[in-house]
Amino acid sequence: MPTGPPITNPPVTVAPVTNSPVTNTPEDQCTACDINPLLPVNPPAGSRIDTTEIAAAGECKQTRVDCTRTDGQTCDIAIRGGTTVLQSVTNMETVSATLTCEMNGMYSSGTANGITTLTCEFTNCVTAVPCTACDINAISPNGLPAGQMFSSVDTTPAGGCTTTEVSCRRTDDQYCTGVSITTSYLQATFDDITGGPYEIASTLNAGLVMVGIGCEDDGNYSVRIVNGDNNPFIFVNPGFKINLQTDGATDHVFAFKITWTPIPNAPQNIIDVARGNPPVALQPNQNLTIFRGNPMVSLMAFTLPDPSQAYLLRQSAIYSGDTFIGTLDQVLTSMTPLTANKISIYTFGLSVDYPLYMASDYEDTRGIMVYEGANCPVTGDCSILLQGSWGNAMTVTDYNGTEVIRGFDGFPGTAVINVYENQVSESTRIATLTSDNYFQQIPLEVKGVMKFYELNGHGLCNMTVTRL
């Protein structure tokens, strides 16, 4: 047995070895998508497929895909991601869809995820017809009853698409509770209207309605409000319907704003109109102007000094009794008196320094097919239209000064033009002009406040007037 002291070795402590955790940062794959493998190798004949990157650098990729006809045809076009339709259009040349690259490195669009193939699908293709090929005679009505007439005037601008002004009117002295122009067929993609008839223009208590129509690239006429019109339309009915269409926009988009405003409780200005007196012409004002007849009164509209501001006439509301029946824009377009027992008009704060409407006793407007007022520019000559294509016409100016008739742009050989000062009567007529004698009578000074230029017969001419 050992007799020496015990030998003690100090304990050895071994520190555990700990490896620090290694974290792998995943790659941001939403910037790595490649659209090219998804595209069809051989697009259908007469078409192409284009792609455009629209996301900023460093952001998740967004790619616009366009399927387009290259042969001038219009088709029903669809872009499919796999079996899912991403976007589709009807009777167009191109359609676009936007694809977004997701975190998993695959494209999505709408409800379609994990898109692996793209296809362009073209059906119901037809060759586009130029917008100058519309034929108004092909759609004009035939065999109208006695006393009714349909007419059209070509208003096509030089080098532009065909435009036509069409009208339906009475050829006798009768006025109707309603006159309208309807189509037999209509296609409207946005509200899914098909078939007919569909009303494109109407007026109440009149003998005439007119509307302008334009030829489209498919060879059909259309009526629409196009994009780019920044001036207001005012509707006073609780419900209304309008047709909208883009014009020249590559993405075929539009936007609009609706503002609801209570109709103000405006003070009333009641004016009784008597037979044999000149019309009462007024500038727009803050009142609800009420014209009363005995028994009937007729309302006529004035043209504007600058025709490009004709949209101002939309800022109005006309009532027959308590019923809304239209706007000054519609009255001017019809060029015929609006007739009722009582007519009220409100212009919603519109402010101009020239008259926009006038009222006369109904009997003083009978037999006149076109009746309107004319405003002239502040400077320069004024061209006043005498529109007697459908019969007797009257154009009135309201100017406290002298007007000088300088000449005519074509004097109709089948018409007589009478000129009156202040009112229409034998004693106030200062001239009777015909194609044989008018040249010897001009320049002709016309004085008074209201001047009346009456065309009896048939024909159309522009009269050049200078204001002193």
Residue 258: inside a domain, yes or no?
no
The confidence score (pLDDT) of residue 409 equals 86
Handedness of CA 178, 183, 185, 190 (dihedral sign): negative
Residue 244: inside a domain, yes or no?
no
94 and 193 together in one domain: no
Q: How far apart are CA 215 and CA 383, in angstroms?
A: 28
pLDDT bin (cut points 50, 70, 90) of residue 274 is very high
Q: How far apart are CA 455 and CA 412, in angstroms?
A: 10
Best-predicted range by mean pLDDT (228-242, 243-257, 383-397) = 383-397
Average pLDDT over residues 56-77: 90
Q: In the listed set 223, 246, 276, which residue is the last one of a domain according to the structure?
A: 223
The confidence score (pLDDT) of residue 21 equals 52
120 and 147 together in one domain: no
Average pLDDT over residues 225-247: 65
The confidence score (pLDDT) of residue 430 equals 96
123 and 143 together in one domain: no
3-state helix, strand, coil in the chain (%, to 5): 5, 45, 50
Span 390-447, pLDDT tens digits: 789 999 999 999 999 999 988 988 899 999 999 999 999 999 999 999 999 999 999 9
293 and 407 together in one domain: yes
The confidence score (pLDDT) of residue 228 equals 65
Best-predicted range by mean pLDDT (186-190, 279-283, 384-388, 459-463) = 279-283
pLDDT greater than 80 at residue 463 = yes
Residue 261: inside a domain, yes or no?
no
The confidence score (pLDDT) of residue 235 equals 74
Average pLDDT over residues 354-370: 92
Query: How many Cα atoms within 13 Å fall on the side-chain side of residue 224?
Result: 19
Average pLDDT over residues 68-77: 90
Average pLDDT over residues 140-164: 83
Q: Phi, psi (5° rounding) for residue 233?
A: -105, 135
Q: In Å, how far from its chain's centre is CA 144?
A: 29
166 and 203 together in one domain: yes
Residue 23: inside a domain, yes or no?
no
**SS3 letters across 384-402:** EEEEECCCCEEEEEECCCC
Q: How far apart are CA 135 and CA 380, in angstroms?
A: 38
* % of the chain with per-residue pLDDT over 70: 82
Residue 257: inside a domain, yes or no?
no
Question: What are 179's strand-pairing partners?
Answer: 203
274 and 198 together in one domain: no
Average pLDDT over residues 385-394: 88
Are residues 286 and 349 in contact, defined by beta-carbon separation less than 8 angstroms? yes
Average pLDDT over residues 265-274: 94
Please choose, from the candidates 231, 257, 247, 350, the residue with its C-alpha nearest in 3D space to the C-alpha of residue 301.
350
84 and 154 together in one domain: no
Averaged pLDDT of the chain = 83
The confidence score (pLDDT) of residue 210 equals 73
311 and 418 together in one domain: yes
The confidence score (pLDDT) of residue 48 equals 93
Q: In the listed set 79, 98, 127, which residue is the last one of a domain according to the structure?
A: 127
pLDDT bin (cut points 50, 70, 90) of residue 243 is low
**Residue 449 is part of which domain span?**
268-467
The confidence score (pLDDT) of residue 264 equals 81
Span 5-46, pLDDT tens digits: 655 555 555 555 555 554 454 467 899 899 999 999 888 999
92 and 214 together in one domain: no
33 and 93 together in one domain: yes
Residue 322: inside a domain, yes or no?
yes
313 and 442 together in one domain: yes
* Total number of domains in the chain: 3
* % of the chain with per-residue pLDDT over 90: 43
Q: In the listed set 106, 127, 148, which residue is the last one of a domain according to the structure?
A: 127
Q: Residue 269's CB: how many other CB atoms inside 10 A?
A: 14
The confidence score (pLDDT) of residue 195 equals 37
Residue 94: inside a domain, yes or no?
yes
Span 164-205, pLDDT tens digits: 888 888 777 676 766 777 765 444 332 333 334 556 666 655
The confidence score (pLDDT) of residue 156 equals 80
Q: How far apart are CA 446 and CA 382, in angstroms?
A: 14
pLDDT greater than 90 at residue 375 = yes
65 and 48 together in one domain: yes
Residue 459: inside a domain, yes or no?
yes
